[in-house]
Amino acid sequence: MSLGYGASNLPGGLQGARAPVDVFVPERTWLKWPLVLLLLLGAGLSLRARHRAFSLFTLVLLHRALITLAFFGYTRGMLVLFPVLVPLLLLPLKAFASSRPSLAGKLPVLASCALLLLWLEAGTLALRGPRDFMASGSTDRTSGKLIQDDWIRLWPKP
């Protein structure tokens, strides 16, 4: 839930760490608390009769979370759930918009504009050329290369 959106990982940013055999997690993790709250709200709404079609997403999320907690505990184990997280994160917004008819018509337009902005950002950054990053962590004594099975801190090159 700490990961951001788009090629710039907004609002988490591009500074962070990569745990041993895991994925990059940004240093700024304030976004995870509103998203966890939104996810729990979406999961709770999916159990109500009006939004019962979303209950399968909640069951898949719960199943994968229990498997990850019991056996692996890696962040990347939960990344496969992204297609399940998006509908559950958007369900509270859908429920709120359906209670306000004037907002319900504008919501798809706003969501489409946000998606287009994320694609535009990714396209602009892709056309600029590669972005350089700096890394620090434990190194191998003989080769001087970073040890991949240890914590690695990453940040964009100034």
Q: pLDDT tens for residues 41-77? A: 999 999 999 999 999 999 999 988 888 778 766 666 6
Predicted confidence (pLDDT) per residue in 93-122, tens digit: 888 888 888 887 788 888 889 889 988 988
**Measured between alpha carbons, how far is residue 117 from residues 10, 112, 135 in Å?**
12, 9, 29
Which pTM was predicted? 0.68
